[in-house]
């Protein structure tokens, strides 16, 4: 599933291509009915002012005061080449070729809709999004304070997007391994010093992944049709049974909050339960 590095890669490729062009036609094709694909036709006639990103959302501000909001979901791909199947949205653009943008999504978790700029009532995840990892306001102290407020396990909290935006299953596993914190550790039992290291490790991993255009396991492609090269750099994610790069212990796979989760049982000790502490 595309996470921050993949969406940022797509954003960087879209921005120089789309900015300044006018959307001539915005058409939903085979899109599931309902709120995931709403008011697209309103984009027609508006000029694209830029391409921004918030968490895993792409935000395209338009000259008429609207905003095109796009989420790639699990399998979404944006491309100037028409797909043979699973086409959800087609935009026809002013200017020289390539002048079509196609949104393809096999598994239908993606979305593409037009809202008034900044009005995210129809998009609760976007409305409640925590700080961007690269925002200078997202400090060690802010992150530690957010973790201290939650007794739930750290991994689902990070996946919720509420304490920091953009991390998903792959990069959360990588960041927790990097700092030796087990994904089931209650967030309020992550020390301030660990929280600081986790924040800095997350940022470093995201930056490296962006430099490699993200991680491709199956569907994700950049706008130029390339695969992300970061899969080869992962330490634990998808490395079940292989030796930990730090201590050699076989990496284990478990399920945390219904998500496949990868840990080194030695580098990331399991949190002790109350009973075990007696
Ligand atoms: Zn290890």
pLDDT at 276 over 60: no
Answer whether CATH 3.90.950.10 is correct for domain 4-127. no
DSSP character for 41? G
Cα gap 56→72, rounded to integer Å:
8
* Residues across the chain: 278
Distance 251 CA to ligand 1 centre (A): 8
Distance 262 CA to ligand 1 centre (A): 11
Between 43 and 274, where is the model more confident?
43
Cα angle 188, 193, 199; round to 5: 85
Q: Which H helix or E strand runs over 142?
A: helix 140-148
Cβ(52)–Cβ(59) under 8 Å? yes
Distance 250 CA to ligand 1 centre (A): 8
Cα gap 24→214, rounded to integer Å:
31
Taking only the tens place, the pLDDT of each residue in 55-64 is 999 999 999 9
Give the active site residue among 200, 259, 266, 271. Answer: 259
Cα gap 104→220, rounded to integer Å:
11
- For the question of residue 2 being annotated catalytic, the response is yes
How confident is the model at residue 278, as a pLDDT? Answer: 42
132 Cβ contact partners less than 8 Å away, ≥ 6 residues apart:
54, 55, 138, 164, 165, 166
How confident is the model at residue 78, as a pLDDT? Answer: 98
Mean pLDDT of 175-197: 98
Cβ(107)–Cβ(75) under 8 Å? yes
Give the active site residue among 2, 5, 61, 153. Answer: 2
pLDDT, mean over the chain: 95
pLDDT at 219 over 90: no
Dihedrals φ, ψ of 51, to 5°? -135, 115
34 pLDDT band (50/70/90 cuts)? confident
Mean pLDDT of 162-175: 97
Domain boundaries, the chain: 4-127, 140-277
Taking only the tens place, the pLDDT of each residue in 241-256 is 999 999 999 999 999 9
- For the question of residue 278 being annotated catalytic, the response is no
Structure token digits, residue 100 = 């079509």
Distance 133 CA to ligand 1 centre (A): 26
Out of 25-34, 69-78, 182-191, 239-248, least confident range = 25-34
- 102: which strand partners? 79, 90
Taking only the tens place, the pLDDT of each residue in 93-128 is 999 999 999 999 999 899 999 999 999 999 999 999
Distance 7 CA to ligand 1 centre (A): 30
Mean pLDDT of 218-227: 91
pLDDT at 129 over 80: yes
How confident is the model at residue 238, as a pLDDT? Answer: 95
Give the active site residue among 42, 53, 56, 111. Answer: 56
Distance 244 CA to ligand 1 centre (A): 5
What global pTM score does this model have?
0.95
Dihedrals φ, ψ of 29, to 5°? -130, 125
How confident is the model at residue 1, as a pLDDT? Answer: 80
Answer whether CATH 3.40.50.2300 is correct for domain 140-277. no
How confident is the model at residue 247, as a pLDDT? Answer: 98
Percentage of the residues of the chain whose pLDDT score is greater than 90: 94
- For residue 57, count CB atoms less than 10 angstroms from its CB and return exposed for 0-12, middle for 13-18, buried for 19 or more: buried
């Amino acid at each position: 599933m595309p996470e921050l590095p993949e969406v940022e890669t797509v954003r960087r490729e879209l921005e120089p291509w789309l900015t300044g062009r006018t959307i001539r036609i915005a058409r939903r094709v085979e899109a599931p009915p309902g709120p995931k694909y709403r008011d697209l036709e309103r984009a027609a006639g508006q000029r694209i002012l830029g391409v921004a990103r918030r968490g895993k959302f792409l935000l395209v501000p338009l000259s008429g005061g609207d905003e095109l909001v796009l989420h790639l979901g699990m399998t979404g791909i944006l491309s100037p080449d028409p797909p043979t199947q699973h086409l959800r949205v087609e935009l026809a653009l002013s200017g020289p070729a390539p002048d079509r943008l196609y949104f393809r999504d096999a598994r239908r978790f993606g979305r593409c809709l037009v809202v008034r700029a900044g009005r995210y009532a129809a998009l609760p995840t976007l409305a409640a999004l925590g700080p961007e990892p690269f925002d200078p306001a997202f400090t060690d102290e802010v992150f530690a304070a957010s973790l201290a407020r939650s007794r739930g396990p750290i991994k689902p909290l990070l996946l919720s997007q509420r304490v920091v935006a953009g991390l998903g299953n792959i990069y959360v596993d990588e960041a927790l391994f990097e700092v030796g914190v087990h994904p089931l550790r209650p967030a309020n039992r992550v020390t301030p010093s660990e929280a600081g290291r986790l924040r800095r490790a997350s940022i470093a991993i995201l930056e490296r992944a962006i430099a490699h255009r993200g991680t491709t396991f199956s569907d994700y492609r950049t706008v130029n049709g390339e695969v992300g090269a970061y899969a080869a750099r992962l330490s634990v994610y998808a490395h079940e049974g292989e030796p930990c790069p730090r201590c050699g212990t076989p990496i284990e796979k478990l399920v945390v909050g219904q998500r496949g989760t990868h840990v080194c049982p030695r580098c990331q000790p399991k949190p002790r339960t109350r009973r075990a502490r007696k």
